[in-house]
Amino acid sequence: MRLFCISDIHGHAKALDRVLAVGRARGCTKVLVAGDLCFPGPEPLLTWKLITASHAHCVQGLADRAVAVLDADRLQASTDHERERIDALRRCRSELGQVILARLERLPKTFRMATEDGGELLLVHGAPEDPTVSMTLDMPDAELAELLGDEPAEVVVCGGSHGPFDRTVGTTRIVNVGSVGEGPEGFAHATVIVTSPAGIEVEQLLIPLGMAVQEPEAG
């Protein structure tokens, strides 16, 4: 099974479209999205449509929860940056509409799937123990082990920090897939995970944006 794993799109539909094309060109058959789908980027509705068209398995990120439940008219800003965020929240909620906002609010915090080697893969935005806390490369093993909790799965696929890494702590392989919409300027992150009875292989990608992708012909 070839899994295409992404996260932190933040409403950047053009970057997402490019990244999904790379996944198709690499023969990936399942898309996993570790949250932060539509907010606060420029094209939240198109982003949502691309995600749903890909039949992705998604979990809820902090931005998903925020845009689903916060009322921009009840928020007060004390800085220009806060005013910009509130304006983006208002625009995003209006563009998505109540049906999609309700779906974002209902997104699960985690998604688990079996792998061919008899193990389990866990998809989460942040950490298994606390999905609101991101796991980062510079954390010591003891801190990561605490965030993994008691039943993390053999492979944990996560996002949140916008910084990709592939690291093993104890018996758990942590694969942070970075960010589609807020990666390095001009680039997006994605990760291909190939599962088989022999185990898993992980390839982390830095995808240049604005370049055409040669996709396989249908049929």
Domains in the chain, ordered, with CATH? Answer: 2-208 (3.60.21.10)
**Mean pLDDT across the chain, nearest whole number?**
94
CB 89 within 8 A of CB 64: no
The pLDDT tens digits of the residues spanning 69-117 come to 998 888 888 898 899 999 999 999 999 999 999 999 999 999 999 999 9
Q: Is the peptide bond before 40 cis (omega within 30 degrees of 0)?
A: yes
pTM: 0.94
The H helix count followed by the E strand count for the chain is 5, 10
Q: How is residue 215 annotated by DSSP?
A: P
Q: Which two tokens stand for residue 25?
A: 């060109």
